[in-house]
Amino acid sequence: MIISVYIGCYRLWHLLFSSLSCSVRLNVIVVVGGNVTAICLFASPIPTFIDIVKRRSVEDYSGIPYVCTLLNCLLWVVYGLPVVEYQLLVVTINVAGCAIEIVYLALYLVYARGYSRTKVIKVLVPVVLGFVLVTLLALLLIPHDHQKRKLVIGTLCAIFAVGMYISPLTVMGMVIRTRSVEYMPFLLSLFNFINGLVWFGYAFLGKQTDIFIAIPNGLGALSGVCQLALYAFYRNATPIRPGDKGDIVKSVNRLNANSVFLELEKTGSLGPKHQGREDH
């Protein structure tokens, strides 16, 4: 049974691709691969949100990358519509991305408290309103010129795609400070790199290079390399917790106090070193 299914799939694959030229085959493979890696990228935070739901708290996880990704997907949906330049696969993958990011943000806001929730809301509301306003202005002020629409919407797509890819830089700073990769999920970094690399290649397969896809995804692949390198460097490091420095200071002060009491017990007076401290 399994062998029959395998043979049937092989014949279907051969039938679909035998009539296509090499360049078209490569294009199809890259597009399908790009959609698969994009879905993997969107799905990679699932373990993070399972952890958030179990703990009933977002702790130190940042919600800003999910806002950036939502805006990025919204803009790419518009970019792939016939009003700009019809690209079905660009539309479908980014509609799926919008739905997934909305679920993530809803969960984040449910389990966030205080400043974390307020920070995300303060970014999310202007982002959504700005997207609606800019899209309407681009469509109304440039009614029939698709090239100008592509330039305006494509530029915005590129800018916010770069924002989506570099938004983990804040988390990378935390990794360096705490020497812990707890809040930088490996799968997110991995698929960030693969997705950027695949879509960077896709940008060069058409009749004309699409710089609006090439630039942000090239930078995304580079960002992914940096995240993976950081993950490899710190994954076995001893973490520094927020209270560690304070605990060290307290321990040092406690030792100093003990040494003072011991000296008083032995000699009945303070030595020159401790007298200097007492004067201060």
- Residue 108 has a pLDDT of 93
64-79 and 146-166 are packed helices; what angle lies between their axes, rounded to 10 degrees? 160
- Residue 105 has a pLDDT of 94
- Residue 245 has a pLDDT of 46
Residues 6 or more apart whose Cβ sits within 8 Å of residue 45:
66, 104, 185, 188
CA dihedral 19, 22, 26, 28 (to 10 degrees): -20
Residues 6 or more apart whose Cβ sits within 8 Å of residue 241:
178
The C-alpha atoms of residue 187 and residue 47 are separated, in whole angstroms, by 9
- Residue 147 has a pLDDT of 83
Asked if 153 and 137 count as a contact pair (C-beta separation under 8 A), the reply is no
Per-residue exposure over 176-211, b if at least 16 CB sit within 10 Å of its own CB, e if not:
eebebbebbbeebbbbbbbbbbbbbbbbebeeeebe
Neighbours of 169 (CB within 10 A): 12
The whole-angstrom distance between residue 46's C-alpha and the CA centroid of its chain comes to 13
Per-residue pLDDT tens over the stretch 16-36:
445 445 555 566 677 677 788
The C-alpha atoms of residue 228 and residue 185 are separated, in whole angstroms, by 10
- Residue 135 has a pLDDT of 84
Residue 60: DSSP 8-state: T
- Residue 23 has a pLDDT of 52
Domain residue spans of the chain: 23-234, 244-279
Residue ranges in the chain whose pLDDT is less than 70: 1-28, 31, 167-168, 206-207, 241-280
Instruction: Give the CA distances from residue 38 to residues 123, 196, 242, 273, in Å, rounded to whole numbers and listed in that order.
Output: 24, 9, 35, 64
- pTM score, whole prediction: 0.65
Structure tokens at 98: 């919008």
Structure tokens at 111: 């389990």
Asked if 193 and 231 count as a contact pair (C-beta separation under 8 A), the reply is no
Residue among 24, 22, 32, 20 at smallest CA distance from 198: 32
Asked if 89 and 81 count as a contact pair (C-beta separation under 8 A), the reply is no
Phi, psi (degrees; rounded to nearest 5) at 74: -60, -45
Residues 6 or more apart whose Cβ sits within 8 Å of residue 203:
209, 210, 211, 213, 214, 217
Structure tokens at 228: 């993976």
